[in-house]
Amino acid sequence: MAEKDQLNFNNTKIAFSHKSSHDLKKARLLFNSFSYKWLLKLGPGMAKMALGFGFKGIIKSTIFDQFCGGESIRECKKAIDLLASRNVGTILDYSVEGEEDEKTFKETCSEIKKTIDVASGNDKISFSVFKTTGIGRFNLLAKVSSGKALSKLEEQDYARVKERFESICKHAFEADVHLFVDAEESWIQPAIDALTEQMMFKYNIKKSIVFNTIQLYRKDRLDYLKNQIKTKKHFMGFKLVRGAYMEKEAARAKELGYENPIQPNKESCDKDYDEAIDYCLDHIEKVSICVGTHNEKSSLHCVKRMRELGLENSDSRVYFSQLFGMSDHISFNLSNANYKVAKYLPYGPVSAVVPYLTRRAQENTSVAGQAGRELSLINKELKSR
Ligand SMILES: Cc1cc2nc3c(=O)[nH]c(=O)nc-3n(C[C@H](O)[C@H](O)[C@H](O)COP(=O)(O)OP(=O)(O)OC[C@H]3O[C@@H](n4cnc5c(N)ncnc54)[C@H](O)[C@@H]3O)c2cc1C
């Protein structure tokens, strides 16, 4: 096997060659600060207050700089070029959250189309992505998902959501750009699935344009995935993730007294995740996947299975993806071995991406977990320089 094809996620020289020692020390300080839980509790409120007092520059040069590309697509150019120089694609992720009015939905819809326009014919940008809650009200999606009848007004409202959803997918189809539909809370996911399935049927004619996202932390999603693949004849695309709303899912199930849809433990979640990879790879002639994970074992599992099936490392039907600012040791070592890799690059006005940044900070609190891993790799690299 050529040296380039050898995979070693501990190779910090490859993982961090794009970062100066100054950048690495800055990242170390940031990941270290996440271990102060009291600081994180103050985080969102303090961030908003700090913005009010004009501390935008400080937030922008610290946590925003680590996890986001910029406030606009134009500002993301530096990060896009940097990733491309290491053979890693970009997925522009317009990360504005929270506002639920028609004006914001329309603006978000046209911004997503801009990300598609930028991606069209541009080999530095691998996919576009959107969240259905960015173009439709959460409670409306929940009502549709529950199967309850909609009022006249709600029906009109939902017709507009469908119109926006379809216009984004059509735009991607015409621009020949692969498009991810992100997965969200289980009680709005049936509506998202139904819309996505229709779009897959309509636009995945010659290849997989529209991708649904499968959360394997749910007990029922491996079966859903298999059933889709078994019963549909057209091309299909799936982004495989573990899932981001575990606490919220458990809390709602408890409050309303239904069975928690989440797996009983991490092991069963991991088992289903790797089985989902296997099942998709076994149907690669019609299924494209994006392995969206920071988990080294699952990434290596996919690599091993690709090898067993005789797939080229650079087969574009199999992508690996991590978030910008996280798990560079996985992204850059995979790309160095010629695998297809793309990173989510969130962008948007600093004040509007605070919820996204808060989630990143919160998932990096455990020193035994992700933050500990990032810190030990950064320390290893700094020591060797
Ligand atoms: C490119 C990309 C795209 C993403 N898109 C989405 C998306 O569209 N929708 C979405 O919801 N999330 C999305 N995520 C986030 C993802 O779902 C995970 O929250 C995150 O990646 C952590 O999981 P992991 O596989 O990287 O790593 P790991 O650290 O191995 O796994 C952590 C995850 O395991 C699961 N878990 C932990 N403990 C348990 C337990 N006791 N029982 C059951 N499960 C458990 C949880 O999902 C937790 O987040 C995305 C992530 C990436 C990298």
Residue 287 pLDDT greater than 60, yes or no: yes
Q: Average per-residue pLDDT in the chain?
A: 91
DSSP structure string for 286-347: TEEEEEE---HHHHHHHHHHHHHTT--TT-TTEEEEEETTS-HHHHHHHHHTT-EEEEEEEE
User: Which atom number of ligand 1 is nearest to the Cα of residue 245?
Assistant: 11
Neighbours of 71 (CB within 10 A): 18
pLDDT band at 43 (very low <50, low <70, confident <90, very high): low
More confident residue, 120 or 372: 120
Q: Report pLDDT for 48.
A: 63
pLDDT in tens, 295-345: 999 999 999 999 999 999 999 999 999 999 999 999 999 999 999 999 999
375 within ligand 1 shell (Cβ under 6 A)? no
Task: Give the tens place of pLDDT for each residue, 244-274.
Answer: 999 999 999 999 999 999 999 999 999 999 9
- 3-class DSSP assignment, residue 172: helix
Is 296 touching ligand 1 by the criterion CB < 6 Å?
A: no
pLDDT digits (tens, 9 = 90+) for 70-117: 999 999 999 999 999 999 999 999 988 777 899 999 999 999 999 999
Report if pTM > 0.75: yes
Residue minimizing CA distance to atom 9 of ligand 1: 183
Q: Whose CA is nearest to atom 19 of ligand 1?
A: 244
Mean pLDDT of 124-135: 96
Ligand 1 atom nearest the C-alpha of 263 is: 43
DSSP string, 177-189: --EEE----TTTH
pLDDT of residue 385: 85
Residue 373 has pLDDT above 60, yes or no: yes
Q: Determine if ligand 1 sits within 6 Å of the CB of residue 242.
A: yes
Query: Which of 242, 323, 359 for mutating ligand 1's site (highest number of atoms within 8 Å of CB)?
Result: 242
Q: Is 70 helix (H, G, I), strand (E, B) or coil?
A: strand
246 lines ligand 1 (CB under 6 A): yes
- Percent of the chain residues past pLDDT 90, beyond the cut: 77
Considering only residues 354 and 47, tell me which one the structure prediction assigns the higher pLDDT.
Answer: 354
pLDDT at 127 > cutoff 80: yes
Looking at residue 151, its pLDDT comes to 98
How many degrees, rounded to 5, is the angle at CA 137 between CA 256 and CA 76? 120
Which residue CA neighbors atom 34 of ligand 1 most closely? 242
Under 8 Å between Cβ of 382 and 25: yes
Q: Where are the domains of the chain?
A: 69-347
Q: Give residue 293 CA to ligand 1 midpoint distance, Å.
A: 7
As a three-state string, the secondary structure of 108-162 is: HHHHHHHHHHHHCCCCCEEEEEECHHHCCCHHHHHHHHHCCCCCHHHHHHHHHHH
- Contact residues for 223 (Cβ-Cβ < 8 A; gap 6+): none
Q: Which residue has the higher pLDDT, 8 or 231?
A: 231
- For β-strands 287-292 and 179-181, DSSP reports them as unpaired
Q: What is the DSSP letter of 218?
A: B
pLDDT of residue 31: 83
Q: Is the pLDDT of residue 130 over 80?
A: yes
Q: Determine which helix (DSSP H) or strand (DSSP E) holds 214, and give its type and residue range.
A: strand 210-215
What pLDDT was estimated at residue 365?
Answer: 65
51: tokens are 């913005």
CATH entry 3.20.20.220 includes domain 69-347? yes
Give the ligand 1 atom nearest the CA of 273. 25
Closest approach atom of ligand 1 to CA 268:
43
How does pLDDT run across 144-187, given as a tens digit for each residue?
999 999 999 999 999 999 999 999 999 999 999 999 999 999 99
CA-closest residue to ligand 1 atom 3: 292
For ligand 1, is residue 343 a contact (CB within 6 Å)?
Answer: no
